[in-house]
Amino acid sequence: MKLDDVEISKAIIERFSAKLLDSLECDVAIVGGGPAGLVAAYNLGKEGRKVVLFERKLSVGGGMWGGGIMFNELVVQKEGKDILDEFGIRTAAFKEGYFCADSVETVSTICSKATQAGARIFNLLSVEDVMMTEERVTGLVINWSAVELAKLHVDPITVRSKYVIDATGHAAEVAHIIEKKSGRKLMTPTGAVIGEKPMCADVAERTILDNTREIFPGVFAAGMCCNAVFGAPRMGPIFGGMLMSGKRAAELILAELVGGKL
C-alpha cells in the first residue's frame, strides 16, 4: 500500500478531536501527571470512572524520572512497596524498611497501567483556571502549554467534572488559583495555602495521608500538593507518600461517587 501523507494527518486530527470531545465532561479531572496524579488516575479508571488527566509537560511522570539529583532510582517504604507490587514494578530491599525501584520502570509502568485502566491522559495541556458556582468547583479551564509558554493571547476551553484533583506538586496550582481568584476560604486551618515546610521525610510521609483530603468543595489535594496546602514538610526523593496519597484521593472520591453525593 502507498502511504498518503494527508491521510496520516487526518487520522491524527480526527482521533484526537474525538478523544478531546469525549473528555469535556467527566467524573474526575486530575491536574498534574506526577506519581500522585497517575496513581489516582489508575485507581479511578480501574473502578470504571471517567477520569481525565491534564499534564503541562511533554512527558508525564513529574518528579519521578530523576529520582534524587538525577540518580534515577526511587526509594519507598513498605507501604509504598505494596503499591509498586500492585503495579508489578520490581523493587529491591536496601535495608529494613527501605526499598528501591528503577524510576524509568516505575513511571512507564504506572502510566501504561493507568491508560489501560481507562484513564485518559492529555499531555501538553495546562490548567489555567477553574470553573465554579457558589457551591463548588465544577471543572477546569485548559489551554495549550505552548500558548502559555509563548504568552499568546488565546482564549482557553473548559472541561466539566464532578471532582477535581490538584496533583500539581510543590506548586499547588489549583489551590492557589481558587484562593486568589475566588477570594473564598480553603478548608485549611488558616483558610489559605499554608505553604510547605523544610525537608523532613519522616514527618512528611506520616502526615501526607491525613493531608490528602478535600480542600475546597469539589477539589481534593493529592501528593506533594497536600503538604504544601496544609503546611507540612517536604519529603525529598522518597516516593511512597506520593503513591499512597494518589490512591487515597481516588478512594475518597470513589466513596462520594458511590454514595451518590452529587
Alpha carbon distance 46, 87 (integer Å) = 12
The closest alpha carbon to 68, from 204, 212, 249, 234, belongs to 234
Tell me which of 44, 163, 173, 244 binds ligand 48F, using CB under 6 A. Answer: 173
Q: Does 139 contact ligand 48F by CB under 6 A?
A: no
Q: Which is nearer to ligand 48F, 217 or 236 (CB)?
A: 236
Q: Which is nearer to ligand 48F, 27 or 196 (CB)?
A: 196
Alpha carbon distance 145, 128 (integer Å) = 10
Q: Does 53 contact ligand 48F by CB under 6 A?
A: no
Q: Does 101 contact ligand 48F by CB under 6 A?
A: no
Residue at 2: amino acid letter: K
- Report the alpha-carbon angle 245-125-193, nearest 5: 45
Alpha carbon distance 177, 164 (integer Å) = 13
Nearest distance in Å: CB 34, ligand 48F: 2
The closest alpha carbon to 35, from 195, 182, 165, 159, belongs to 165
Q: Does 166 contact ligand 48F by CB under 6 A?
A: no
| Per-residue x/- track, 190-229, ligand 48F (CB under 6 A) | ---------------------------------xxx----
Q: Does 34 contact ligand 48F by CB under 6 A?
A: yes
Tell me which of 64, 111, 229, 254 binds ligand 48F, using CB under 6 A. Answer: 64
What pairs with residue 216 in β-bridges? 219
Q: Which residues bind ligand 48F (CB under 6 A)?
A: 31-37, 54-57, 62-64, 126-127, 167-169, 171, 173, 223-225, 234-239, 242
